[in-house]
Amino acid sequence: MYGYAGVSTKGGGVEVDLESGETLYPGLSHGDNQLRWGFIRKVYGILAAQFLLTTIVSSVTVLSPSVNDLLRGNSGLLLFLMFLPFILLWPLYMYQQKHPLNFIFLGLFTLSLSLTVGVSCANTDGRLVLEALILTSAVVSSLTGYTFWASKKGKDFSYLGPILFTSLFVLILTGFIQMFFPLGSTSVAIYGAIGAIIFSGYIVYDTDNLIKRYTYDEYIWASVNLYLDILNLFLSILRMLRQGDN
């Protein structure tokens, strides 16, 4: 259990319980605030584990020429790894509340995405990868902090849902069109910048859902959404920097 969010006096001193955290948004009861903070910590703990796995797998892919050559030289395997996360989303959603299947599918989902990210990083200048990582970290930290602050002030970002969904659909459709009608380097850089803006919006939207709307049993699905938002933001920034460098 988490402690009481308040100030108490003992022996003439003042003790502040820091475990409970501040009230997340106006009108939230003390008990719900405690539970919601616990839920948020759990989601960010899972998210940290996902990115640790992604970092390890990507590093192995980048630093091991044999692994990188295997993935690049086998287009069928690479294509399978690209579509595998979409296949795993269904059992991941269906079994998100059934332990340990939820963590098994989450691990496979993260692993498959990590391999494709590793291939992208291996075929990009290390300087650009570092720049994209720094920019992504700065954007995610800023947007997350802003969303928590705005929620505390009573702001709501649920209206972003339809706008972002429509924008993402157009972005994906444009990506398919590029397969048949390749764009120039400048257009690809602009495409990456638009993608970065869309996924920045999704970080705000999904963080707002994390604070207010996800149920306490949806910790797996909440972590998956935020993981995809951050990962796609990183890849969009990386694409933009790569094309700009070219």
Whether pTM exceeds 0.75: yes
Three-state DSSP state, 217? coil
Residue 164 has pLDDT above 90, yes or no: yes
Mean per-residue pLDDT, 186-212: 92
CA 224 to CA 161: how far, in whole Å? 17
Strands 7-10 and 13-16: antiparallel
Residue 8 has pLDDT above 70, yes or no: no
CA 171 to CA 66: how far, in whole Å? 33
Buried residues in 10-29 as b, exposed as e (16+ CB within 10 A): eeeeeeeeeebbebbbeebe
Residue 17 has pLDDT above 90, yes or no: no
CA 100 to CA 223: how far, in whole Å? 16
**CA-to-CA dists, residue 39 to 104, 153, 215, angstroms:** 20, 21, 9
Mean per-residue pLDDT, 107-130: 87
pLDDT at 36: 92
CA-wise closest residue to 232 among 207, 197, 205, 204: 197
Residue 45 has pLDDT above 80, yes or no: yes
Contacts of 238 (CB under 8 A, 6+ apart): 120, 121, 124, 128, 129, 132, 192
Percent of the chain with pLDDT over 70: 89
Contacts of 21 (CB under 8 A, 6+ apart): 5, 33, 37
**Pick the residue with more confidence: 2 or 155?**
155
Residue 23, φ and ψ in degrees, nearest 5? -65, 130
pLDDT at 62: 82
Residue 83, φ and ψ in degrees, nearest 5? -90, -15
140-155 pLDDT per residue, tens: 999 999 999 999 999 9
CA 34 to CA 60: how far, in whole Å? 40
Amino acid at 215: T
CA 103 to CA 108: how far, in whole Å? 9
Residue 245 has pLDDT above 70, yes or no: no
Which range has highest mean pLDDT (56-70, 79-93, 206-220)? 206-220
Amino acid at 182: P
78-103 pLDDT per residue, tens: 778 788 888 999 999 898 888 888 89
- Confidence category of residue 106, pLDDT binned at 50, 70, 90: very high
